[in-house]
Structure formats: structure tokens, C-alpha cells
Amino acid sequence: MKLYFAETMNSYKTCAVARYVDLDVKFHRLDLKKGEQRTPEFLAINPNGKAPALVDGDRTIWESNAIMCHLAIRAGSDLWPQGDNQVEVVRWFSWAADHFCRFAGQLYFEHIIRAEFGMGDPDPEAVEEALGYVRRYGAILDNHLESRAYLLGDTLTIADFAVATVLPYAEGANIPLSEFPAVEQWHDRLMELPAWQSPFRG
């Protein structure tokens, strides 16, 4: 298997899962500043021209959540649970994409990506809007995690990787993580995992 990644929030979770389940995966870093994601060779793998993307034999998979699912299933890992808990994983995938990570990701874009790619200063209106939603959805997440070690209870799943993917960037993105103590403690637990600490290591 070959996992194409860039050092960005969506690649963070896929690389972390690949390392956590310890599959034989070759990691290939794409240099976004050089436009490697737009080469004909990479567009043949992911026509969206975005990282991450996975090649597993004759199969290519793009979209970070799908890649996480594939890796966990291929490894036979409990990160992809059985039974009704699969529905719970999909629920948290959707919630992250439509709510929490959507707006936390906007803060990540405004404060980190703009500076990294020379796109000018953050847009104050976009920052204000995103921060309001992060506080709203962060409170929901915090309430959910007050009585749980992980999103689905006592067991780590790929849902945790999906929802937390922006949190390693919280300081640089000005995400007010300290306002949500249960979320902060949950992410501290994830940071105890070497795969989550250093998903992009060589």
C-alpha cells in the first residue's frame, strides 16, 4: 500500500491510523507548494487533486475518512467497530464534516494555511463566524465527553481520529481548546499514542 499525504489536518488522521494499525504502508509526501498534487500522475489517483490518497493494489481510495475505514478493516483492527457502533462512527464522521471540523478547519485555514501559502492576513469576519460555531459545537462535544474516555465510550475508534484531526493545530489556529476541559483531556489521551503524536515521521 502507498499513502500519499501532505502535512495537513486531513492527512494527519489517515497517517495516524496507518501507523496505529501497523500495516505495511509506504508513505509518500506531496509537496503542495510545488503543485505535486496537480500532476497528471497524481490526478490519475485522485482526480480532486488533494491529499490524502491511498493505493492498495489495483484499488485507489480518496477521502480521508474512507481511507481510515479501509486501513482499519484491512488490519482487522477494533478501530473499525462491529455492529451498531459502525453507525455511530458514521454519525461522528458526518458531525465532524458538517459542524465541528468544518468550522475549526476554517480557523485552521485562516490562521495557518493563509500564512503558510502567502495568502494574506486572516479574514476577520470569517474568523469571527467560525469561532462562534466552534464554541457552539465544542460545547456539544465537551458535554458528550464528560462521561466517556472516547467518543463511543471506553474504546478508541476511527471516529476519535476523525473528530480530533484539527486539534493538534489548536494553538496555531487559535482554537479555544482550554474552554472545553473534557475535549482537552480526550485529546491528551490521544496524544499518548505515538501514532497520533507523530503521524508524519520519516
What's CA 166's distance to the chain center, in Å? Answer: 6
pLDDT digits (tens, 9 = 90+) for 40-86: 999 999 999 999 999 999 999 999 999 999 999 999 999 999 999 99
CATH 3.40.30.10 residue ranges for the chain: 2-75
- Does the pLDDT of residue 38 top 90, yes or no? yes
Number of other CB atoms surrounding residue 25 within 10 Å: 20
CATH class, domain 85-197, is mainly alpha
pLDDT digits (tens, 9 = 90+) for 99-134: 999 999 999 999 999 999 999 999 999 999 999 999
pLDDT confidence bin for 202, thresholds 50/70/90 = low
pLDDT digits (tens, 9 = 90+) for 134-174: 999 999 999 999 999 999 999 999 999 999 999 999 999 99
What's the fold here for domain 2-75? Glutaredoxin (3.40.30)
pLDDT at 117: 93
- Does the pLDDT of residue 7 top 70, yes or no? yes
Q: What is the DSSP string of 49-73?
A: --S-EEEETTEEEESHHHHHHHHHH
Q: What amino acid is encoded at 23 in this protein?
A: L
pTM of the model: 0.96
Residues forming beta bridges with residue 4, ordered by sequence position? 28, 53
CATH 1.20.1050.10 residue ranges for the chain: 85-197
Helix (H, G, I), strand (E, B), or coil: what is residue 182?
Answer: helix
pLDDT at 110: 98
